[in-house]
């Protein structure tokens, strides 16, 4: 039985920050686009001030929400474990050591936990087609299952090469 986790703090931070730059840039572009449309169509300056206040309020809400969801991703990255055992890949999430979270992250965490959305997952190698790596270094497991499709294993995992080698040996392509 081989166990793989993200253990180093800098790797957990990298996992949590994966989409942060793209989301932040998209948010800025959307705000600029809407603001430019508003400025060029309004003649009254009092309307511009009220629109600016609304933009500021919405921006603060997005920022707070983004930080909460980023903390949730950090928590999940810290507590996910990949286990290879008897030609089976298991993905476990230890949700018992809950950390302090903001309102939004805590809400999504409790909602997912209560609905059973964070269950352990396992799949036999015989149900997998192939192992690939994407351009960023994540492992992508293509499965024979219609409902699962692909399993993405993050590049921040400790001993990722060892996991990749074991999966390549265990998964027989085109069976």
Output the pLDDT for position 112.
67
Output the pLDDT for position 60.
76
pLDDT band at 162 (very low <50, low <70, confident <90, very high): very high
Number of residues written out for the chain: 175
> Per-domain residue ranges for the chain?
1-175
To the nearest 10 degrees (0 to 180), the angle between helices 20-41 and 45-79 is: 170
pLDDT in tens, 20-73: 666 677 777 777 877 777 777 766 666 667 777 777 787 777 777 777 677 777
* pLDDT at 118 > cutoff 60: no
pLDDT in tens, 62-108: 777 777 677 777 888 888 889 988 888 988 877 666 666 666 667 77
pTM above 0.85, yes or no: no
* pLDDT at 123 > cutoff 70: yes
């Amino acid at each position: 039985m081989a166990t793989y986790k993200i253990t180093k703090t800098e790797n957990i931070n990298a996992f949590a920050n994966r989409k942060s730059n793209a989301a932040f840039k998209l948010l800025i572009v959307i705000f600029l686009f809407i603001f430019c449309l508003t400025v060029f169509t309004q003649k009254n300056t009092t309307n511009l001030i009220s629109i600016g206040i609304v933009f500021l309020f919405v921006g603060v809400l997005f920022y707070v929400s983004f930080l909460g969801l980023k903390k949730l991703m950090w928590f999940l990255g810290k507590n996910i474990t990949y286990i290879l055992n008897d030609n089976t890949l298991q993905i476990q999430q230890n949700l018992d050591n809950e950390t302090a979270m903001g309102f939004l992250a805590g809400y999504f965490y409790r909602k997912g936990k209560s609905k059973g959305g964070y269950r352990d997952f396992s799949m036999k190698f015989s149900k997998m087609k192939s192992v690939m790596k994407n351009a960023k270094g994540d492992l992508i497991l293509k499965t024979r299952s219609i409902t699962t499709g692909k399993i993405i294993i993050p590049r921040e995992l400790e001993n990722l090469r060892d996991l990749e080698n074991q999966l390549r040996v265990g998964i027989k392509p085109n069976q």
